[in-house]
Every structure is written in structure tokens, then in C-alpha cells.
Amino acid sequence: SRLPPHLLSKVRSISKPLHIQVFVTPTCPYCPKAVRIAHQLAIENLNITADMVESIEFPQLANRYSVMAVPKTVINDKVEFVGALPEEQFIDYVLKA
């Protein structure tokens, strides 16, 4: 599913490198949505990279970012939020990074 045009233009306007990490667990029902949005942003803008991080497999990373609930999204090590947000809210956080 493609992003709506008004969101696509916001994503394509990003001109600095952004690294999005989405922390997940295998049993989390909301995690795939968060990962899908992050990867969609990376597809639409080459300045964006997106990683899905399995919290149980990478405990050192989960500890570093104080992951207590999933999905937890961390952008450029400075902006973070928990939950599977709608595309527009997700992108608003990305723009703050």
C-alpha cells in the first residue's frame, strides 16, 4: 500500500540521513504495521534506512534503548515512541528527528 500523496511529499522532502529502528517481538500483533511503515519510508527516500530489531535476539540493543514495550521506534538515536501509530503520526515523529 502506497502512502497518500500529502504524506509522500513530506517523506520525499527529507534531505538528511535518518536511521529508523523498530524494536519488535515475535508475538507482537502490532509490530508488523510499524515495521511496514518504516520500510515504506526507506523505499520512498534514499536518505532513510529502516531496521527491524528483534528485541529478544538483540538484548544489548533493547537495553540500550530501554525497550519495555513493543513496537518501539527509535529515530537517529534521539526521537522515540512506543506503539503502532497511524502513518501520519509516524511521519510526524520522523520529521522531528
Would you list the domain boundaries of the chain?
A: 5-96
**φ, ψ (nearest 5 deg) of residue 48:** -105, 130
The matching CATH number, chosen from 3.30.470.20, 3.30.43.10, 3.30.2040.10, 3.40.30.10, for 5-96 is: 3.40.30.10
The string of pLDDT tens digits covering residues 4-28 is 999 999 999 999 999 999 999 999 9
Tell me if the pTM is above 0.85: yes
Give the per-residue pLDDT at 52: 98
pLDDT at 1 over 80: no
The string of pLDDT tens digits covering residues 21-76 is 999 999 999 999 999 999 999 999 999 999 999 999 999 999 999 999 999 999 99
CB atoms under 10 Å from CB of 31, counted, come to: 21
Give the per-residue pLDDT at 2: 83
